[in-house]
Structure 1
Amino acid sequence: MQAKKGCTILLVGQITITLILLVISLRQGISLQADMLTALPESNFDKPILHAEKQLFNRASSHVVISFSGSDKEQAYQDFLPKIIKHGWQAQLPDTEKLNQLANFYVDYAGYLLSEQYSTNIADEQRFRQYFTAQMSQFSNPLLSQTFEKDPSLATANFIDELIAKQSNLQTKNGYFFADHVTEKPIVLMLDVGLKEEASQGINFAISTRNTLLALIAANKQAFPEVAIELSGILMHSAENAEQAKWEMSFFGTLSLMATILLVVFVFRSMTPLIWIVLTVSNALLMGFTCLVWVFESVHIITLVFGTTLIGLGVDYCLHVLAHKTFARKTSITNTILFAFLTTVLSYSLLFLTPLAILKQVAVFVCSGLFAALIVSLWLEKTGMLRLKMSGDDIAKVNSTKHLKAVMFIGRKLAVVITGLLVIYSVVKPLSFDDSIAKLNASSAELVAAEQYHRSLLGFQDKSRIFVYANSLQQLLEKEERLAQKIQTHLPNTTITKLSDWLPSAATQKQNITLFEQAHGNKVYLAVQEFLPEYRFNQPAKLLTLEDLVAVTGQQLVNAKYVTYQDFHVSLIEVNSTDTAQLGAIIDDSENVALFDKQRSLSKVLSSFRIELSYWLVAAIVAILAMLYIRFKWHTTVVASYVILASLNAALALACLIQGSLNVFNLLSAILVIGLAVDYLIFYREKEFSDANVIAISLSAASSFFVFGMLAFSQTPAVQSFGITVTIGLLLIYLLAPLVVKGRK
């Protein structure tokens, strides 16, 4: 009676607290993420660099690139642009007014700002005369005409010319950008669709924006069928991945739940068990999600796809209670369920120790959900709420497990042979792992192709990124300049873009003004004085500062290259070279400098994590076998060792054959395979071949098979790998687990 009352209080209390916490979370707002890279472990870089890379990534997350190519591209572009502006999105267009504004700003610092080419030309009077004459023959140059009145020395015009030339591969014509270096000369439109930073991070915002853009593009293509339009951007990847994950979560979850419901109705010949199954699954999902949003600041949507596995696991305990209460009413399975729960939670808890954010979230979601499922199952067990009245014929039909046991016996022999052959195969041809992060890219081939195409148009495909940080802005700018000079010494034809292009360090500005004054003292500017007799050099009142630059050009220009982190100043240098080995060697002895190759660094992290995970799996198996030994002694422990290891090896070997190579998610699925194997082993060891036990385990395996079998068809590589391995492992442990009964009465 006390147990019944205690279980009721526990269930009501758990549901009440869960609902209160969930309502609070919903009122505060729940943050969801869809980008796969945000779920991966951080690379082994210094914290200022990791922070800066994340900030720059977030700032670029709302940028979209659209290209138009074909005979009617100009008309298509002109038709498309007003519709973009109508939606409030900011289009980056060639702006003569902004260029004039930049020229009027920089001309006030004439003498402090000298390009490398200009510094060479003022080395002697004759060289400068030739340069001056050549430039004056091109007086139609808008920069030259804009700055000549205040700076006849041409220093400012040359500085801005060289600065602009380094920034982009695109040319301007008739008010738009186009890629002249490509045969089709496409028009390129760059948009910022998330003017509010917090809005651009939302999944719903990304999906809505993508759908709107696709609709606009479809209408444009209908009006101009000869024009090819490509769309890319970080936001497009996030939206596509989110839509796919949402669809899979809904479709797989619904399908697996419906299949489980139909199976239960078929076996129990009653709708009553559905009430308890729905209660169990709903309570598990509710508590799992609530704990998830309270433990983590944001939830990755892929976690919820993985979380559909909770449906298969959550109904297991309820199915065992249903089966034993229906077909073996006097049998208690409380201790068996508790022991199975502990071993499963132990397996999933290991995920929380991994560096993968997704897996930490899966661990919290599944463990808390299983606890909720356990509470409902214990309540059903203790309160005797099940009152199924099955006819004698129905009971006879269900209890006729003779054929099922015969099939399992044959399947068991076949599984032993298959696992043995796969062990031999694994020895002859060891399992191969591919840790490349590119293999986990869930974006469509069309979007990836569009991304690569646009990178080639913008000149990004051949660029390497270097992060630099220092304790002050001036130290940072000086470090940038020294590093750029060092790189160009070894790679003279390399183009380098950096913050100090726009804002030279104070030391460089002082050197420039000294050189400029010396040139005047050495009468280098005779050609200017002959052309403009009243020319006199007046030194600017102060050095150029970051505050001055931001006040005129806005924060956007600086934000693309510069981030602050605590007491550090961090900047991004882009080098037009893909020879990372040579670049790495050049900057190797530089302090607080790192060549940042995100794909390569994440691949290395995944490789290290995979090796580390292998040790964790071994530790988990040893811990579980120790628990089995304490409870069941040697025979069960030895058989369990064989079942677990044979199933794992066979599942990974077959997954390797199907996929071509394994990844870290294949190995992670081994944790779940271990958890399922232990559950089946415990129930077979405790309840042996009783009809109720065979039915319960078969129902449990079938429901899990529905869930994990669905994941094997996922379009997300990580989820698919997980699903394939678990599905194979599940089938094998279902067939092999009864071996633990052999030799017992």
Structure 2
Amino acid sequence: MSWLSSKKYLYLWWLATITVLLYLAMAAPSAKWSSNITAALPGNNTAWQQLIQQNNSSRHLSLLLSGVSLAELQQAASQLQQEPITHLHWLQPGATFQQLQTLYQQHQALLVSPEQLAWLRSGQYQPLVDAAWQRLYSPSPLLENALQQDPLLLTQQYLEQQTTSNGLLLRPAWFELTTQRQPAILLYASLNIDPFERNNGQAMANALEQKLSQLQQQWPSLNIARSGVLFHAVVAAKNASFEMQLYGGISLSAILLLIWFSFANWRPLILALTTLGCASAFGLAAVLLLFEQPHVLGLVFATTLIGIAIDYSFHGMLAANKGNKTFKRMLPSLLLGLITTLLGYLALMFLPFPILNQVAVFMAVGLIVAFLTVKIVFLHWLPAASMTVNKYLLQFCANLSLKYNQAKPKWLLAVGSLALVAVSCSLLLQIQFNDDVRLFNQSPAELLQQEQQVRSAGGQNWDSRFIVLLGDSTEQLLQHEQSLQALLHTWQQQGKLGSWQATVQRVPPLQLQDEVQQLLQLAYQSEPGQDYLQQLQLKPPAAITKRLSPESFPSSFIQQIQPLNDKFASVILLSKLNLTSSDLTLLNAYPNTYWLDPIADTNASVKKLRYQLSIWLALALVLAIVILFWRRGGRAAGAIMLILVLAISSALLISLQLQQQLNIFNLIAALLVLALALDYGIFFTAKLPHQEVVQAVFLSATTSCLAFGLLAFSKTPAIASFGLTVFLGVALACILSPLLSVLAVKENKIHAAL
């Protein structure tokens, strides 16, 4: 590259950098970062997961107020609801129930309980009459025209059974209840934004928490329990942002201190910051361009770019300081290291795992830009002999290099082979994997406890497993749900099911409504029915021609029915499950009925993905060895393979001992260790001065260990597993890779290079 052409590339580099920075200035502030954990899950585009995502339950939140007198609770609840919060709407259960009452009032005698329906079908009319008399003696008001339209008060009694369940007392703006012998108030609210949308969700949560803090200052004994996706999403986003800033800041600060200690010169600092800044800017720009809603956890993983990109800076600075000739001799090894590293990230780019796809794009683009920055900029900004390496670092690396070169090749090969066999066998005998998707994120125990408390108080403690029915129309769905009620009731009687919630409990199918009208006419003509009507001086009402349908309700009341592709899907929620596999096989007798366990299904996807990743890890290793065999020869390729497999196996074995079980993120870490260790192997077999390679690799590995080792302290289990294994693998690769000069490069070639 002539002087003139090198200037041209430098100008192009400046132009590209300025363009990317301008793009980030415009795009970054409006970017929609997601903290939705489902966005990080593999295969999140299946039809079932689309159904889960369509459900609006994630846009609801609940608050349970307790700890003070009922009067104080009422005052606190009123005060909270009177102060508006952007994007949050407090639900009015009393008004909602009144709306339902008005709707049912127009369709009386169509809604009956299972017990009432059984009496009608069996011709047992006296229990119906007795229940009607008992309701008439109650002081509570009746629905308008109830006696004229539904003299047996079937719909009236059904509604009251629903509203008095779970010990909740309906009030206009909330529910009142008794929990742990203390009065409590349960508030519900809905959001008109996606709670996983980081900016709006964070702002709204902060505004709400400010109001709650004011209430607790006014009533110090007031207890507030929270439930809702919003609170978990905000905590996840805060943790990710905090860890990104903390780990990235500590890592960058430590690296800069290390550079200053090593060179005591401002030029290396500027070069390192330029390399990292450009790599990060280009990587972030690529993610914002290719992904509509990047995930915040991806940024935490992406902070590891610091530890890898700085490797290129160290190799570039040390070579540029020796002059143009040494720099050019170093570049092919740096390029080969880049290619092998990209091979590792290539796997992540094509796996059906959205968050890892984002990390792969960020890292791949960032590393390419880091390499180009070193190649284009360093010779211009760092003249030969312009910096002096710390004499203590030089002495340490010289002594280290001497010690390594004194080792005996045959002895090293024998010990290395035995160690590899021992570590590999131990790993294979003990290995256990945990594919639980809950490793991706973990909410604080206090928040989980509050969630459970609110759900139990409101009777909304539904299981994560549920039943899904498919139909060509909503009417067909209701018929399927109705046919399933008998099985659910049987499970409930057997203690295998606590309760369930289905749309058919609110809207009977048209076929059932027709049957009820026919049965009621028979009941009115029966002896108990005629006697009852005569005492009230009522005439038997004519059969009702109006019918109730899901379309009669506001959409917010029928949320368990959703369109799914060209069909409709209905979700039946379940609680307190104790079902066996034989129980679930009974569902096969019902058409278009499916048992859905999202966590188990996602765990199965993670397991399948883990197998794919294992295969790619092996293929990447083979492909890297083939490339090395082509570029370095069989001796070097074999030696590097020995060091690689020993470092990766040892890192996984130690991680297994510390974690008890491995997970997919340990394998992802192993893939990255493969890429980093290949870099070290390439430079130690490049016939470069051994002492300088020891110096560059030592500094590079130190920075990588800092960047990845900090992740081991993450509150997110997935990130912690990833950081631990990479830290161990890089440390081991740094310790073992200098031996490659003895195993793979002949002594006379080493001295010739010197």
- Alignment-derived partner of residue 177 in structure 1: 175
Of 487, 494, 497, which residue of structure 1 is paired with 2:501?
A: 497
Aligned to 1:537: 541
Paired letter, 1:710: L
Normalised to the residue count of structure 1, the TM-score between the two structures is 0.90
Q: Residue 338 of structure 1 aligns with which residue?
A: 335
Q: How far did 1:175 drift?
A: 6.6
Aligned to 2:489: 488
**208, 212, 223: which one pairs with 1:228?**
223
Query: Which of 513, 517, 521 matches 2:521?
Result: 517
Task: Provide, for residues 420-439 of structure 1, a one-character-per-residue CA deviation record: whole Å limited to 9, x for no partner.
Answer: 59717725851222222234
Secondary structure of the corresponding residue to residue 31 of structure 1: coil
CA distance in 1 between partners of 2:18 and 2:386 (Å): 34
Q: Is the 8 A contact 2:243 2:714 kept in 1?
A: yes
- Matches of 2:109 and 2:493, distance apart in 1: 26
2:265 aligns with: 270
Deviation by residue 1:420-460 (Cα, 9 ceiling, x = unmatched): 59717725851222222234432111112222222322334
User: In structure 1, what is the Cα distance between the partners aligned to 2:125 and 2:247?
Assistant: 78
Determine the C-alpha separation between the residues in 2 that align with 1:118 and 1:69.
38
Specify the alignment match of 1:108 in structure 2: 106
In the alignment, what sits opposite 2:451? Answer: 451
Please list the CA deviations of residues 46-91 of structure 1 after superposition, one character each: whole Å capped at 9, or x if unmatched. 61x32221111xx222322222333546514522441243024433
Give the C-alpha shift of residue 254 in structure 1: 1.4
Count of residue pairs the alignment pairs up: 728
- Tell me the distance in 2 between the aligned counterparts of 1:641 and 1:169: 67
Distance 1:394-1:298 versus aligned 2 partners, 3 A rule: closer
Amino acid at match of 2:276: V
Read off the aligned partner of 1:529 and give its amino acid letter.
Answer: L
Note the C-alpha offset of 1:488: 2.5
Distance in 1 (alpha carbons) for counterparts of 2:485 and 2:406:
71
| Displacement after TM superposition at 1:186 (Å) | 5.3
Q: Which amino acid aligns with 2:543?
A: Q
Residue 12, structure 1, aligned to residue 14, structure 2? yes
Q: Deviations over 1:150-204 (max 9, x none)?
A: 43231221232344456x5634479742444x4344524233252x235x44212
Partner SS, residue 696 of structure 1 = helix
CA gap of 1:420–1:624, structure 2 versus 1, over 3 A, is closer
Report the counterpart of residue 572 of structure 2 in structure 1. 573
Q: Distance in 1 between matches of 2:128 and 2:393?
A: 103
Tell me, yes or no, if structure 1 residue 83 matches structure 2 residue 84: no
Structure 1: 5+ residue runs without aligned partners?
none
User: How many angstroms does 1:643 deviate by?
Assistant: 1.1
Cα separation, partners in 2 of 1:422 and 1:67, compared to 1, 3 Å: farther
Query: Against the structure 1 CA distance between its residues 66 and 391, is the aligned structure 2 distance closer, same or farther, given a 3 Å change threshold?
Result: closer
Displacement after TM superposition at 1:250 (Å): 0.9
Shift in CA distance, 391/66, structure 1 to aligned 2, threshold 3 Å? closer
State the shift of 1:385 in Å. Answer: 3.1
| Change over 3 Å in CA distance of 1:219–1:405 after alignment to 2 | farther
Match of 1:633 in 2: 633
* Matched letter for residue 594 of structure 1: Y
Among 383, 400, 421, which residue is 1:387 paired with? 383
Structure 2 vs 1, CA of residues 280 and 418 (structure 1 numbering), >3 Å: closer, same or farther? farther
Name the counterpart of 2:466.
465
Kindly indicate whether residue 362 of structure 2 is the aligned counterpart of residue 365 of structure 1. Answer: yes
Contact 2:92 2:172 survives alignment (8 Å): no
Distance in 2 (CA, whole Å) between partners of 1:261 and 1:386 is: 17
| Residue 126 (structure 1) aligns with | 126
**Matches for 1:544-555 after TM superposition, within 5 Å:** 544-550=548-554, 555=555
Amino acid at match of 1:740: L
One-letter amino acid of the structure 1 residue matched with residue 505 of structure 2? D
Instruction: Kindly indicate whether residue 63 of structure 2 is the aligned counterpart of residue 62 of structure 1.
Output: no
Match of 2:284 in 1: 289
Kept in 1, the 8 Å contact 2:186–2:458? The answer is no
Matching residue's letter, 2:547:
L
Q: Alpha carbons of 1:655 and 1:108: their partners in 2 closer, same or farther (altered >3 Å)?
A: same
| 1:702–1:616 CA distance, 2 compared to 1 (3 A) | same
Distance across 1 between alignment mates of 2:343 and 2:387: 41
Is 2:247–2:710's contact at 8 Å kept on the other side of the alignment?
Answer: yes
The 3-state SS of whatever aligns with 1:433 is coil
User: Alpha carbons of 1:129 and 1:65: their partners in 2 closer, same or farther (altered >3 Å)?
Assistant: closer
| Alpha-carbon displacement from aligned partner over 1:315-357 (angstroms, at most 9, x marks no partner) | 2222211111114652122211111111101101100122221
Single out whichever of 169-178 and 566-575 deviates more from structure 2.
Answer: 169-178
1:87-166 counterparts in 2 under 5 A?
87-88=84-85, 89-95=88-94, 97-122=95-120, 123-138=123-138, 140-143=139-142, 147-148=146-147, 150-164=149-163
What's the offset of the Cα at 1:679? 0.6
Structure 2: distance between partners of 1:256 and 1:417 = 35
Distance 1:125-1:738 versus aligned 2 partners, 3 A rule: closer
**CA shift at 1:40, angstroms?**
0.9
Change (3 A) 1:186 1:612: farther
Paired residue type of 1:505: P
Residue 589 of structure 2 is aligned to residue 564 of structure 1: no
> Residue 397 of structure 2 corresponds to which residue in structure 1?
401
Q: Is the 8 A contact 1:273 1:322 kept in 2?
A: yes
Conserved? CA contact 2:66–2:222, under 8 Å: yes
* Cross-structure match for 2:299: 304
CA distance in 2: counterparts of 1:531 and 1:710, whole angstroms: 82
Instruction: Note the alpha carbon deviations across 1:608-659, whole angstroms, 9 max, x for none.
Output: 2222221121111111111111111211121111111111111111112222
Which residue identity lines up with residue 347 of structure 2 in the other structure?
L
In the TM superposition, what is the alpha-carbon distance from 1:692 to its structure 2 partner?
Answer: 2.8
C-alpha distance after superposition, 1:375-401 (max 9, x if no partner): 1111035x5431265477967974763
CA distance in structure 2 between the aligned counterparts of 1:346 and 1:549, rounded to whole angstroms:
55
| Residues 128, 270 of structure 1: alpha-carbon distance in 2 compared, 3 angstrom cutoff | closer
**8 Å CA contact retained: 2:712, 2:724:** yes
Contact 1:323–1:693, Cα closer than 8 Å, also in 2: no
- The answer to whether the Cα contact below 8 Å between 1:74 and 1:187 also exists between their aligned partners in 2 is no
Could you tell me how far 1:239 is from its partner in structure 2?
0.4
Alpha-carbon distance between aligned partners in 2 of 1:490 and 1:149, rounded to the nearest angstrom: 38
- Going from structure 1 to structure 2, the CA distance change for 1:691 and 1:380 (only over 3 Å counts) comes to farther
The equivalent residue for 2:751 is: none
User: What secondary structure is seen at the aligned counterpart in 1 of 2:617?
Assistant: helix
- Residue range with higher mean Cα deviation, 582-591 or 501-510: 582-591
Q: Which amino acid aligns with 1:262?
A: L
Measure the CA separation in 2 of the matches of 1:557 and 1:599: 27
Maintained 8 Å contact 1:92/1:189 = no
Whole-angstrom CA distance in 1 between matches of 2:389 and 2:52: 68
Where relative contact order (Cα < 8 A, 6+ residues apart) is larger, the structure is 1
Q: Give the distance between the partners of 1:648 and 1:397, measured in 2 at CA.
A: 28
Q: TM-score, normalised by structure 2?
A: 0.89
411 and 537 in structure 1: CA distance in 2 versus 1, 3 angstrom threshold: farther
SS at match of 2:134: helix
1:243 aligns with one of 224, 238, 242: 238
Over aligned residues, Cα RMSD in angstroms?
3.1
Counterpart Cα distance in 2 of 1:357 and 1:206: 22
Letter in 2 for 1:454: V
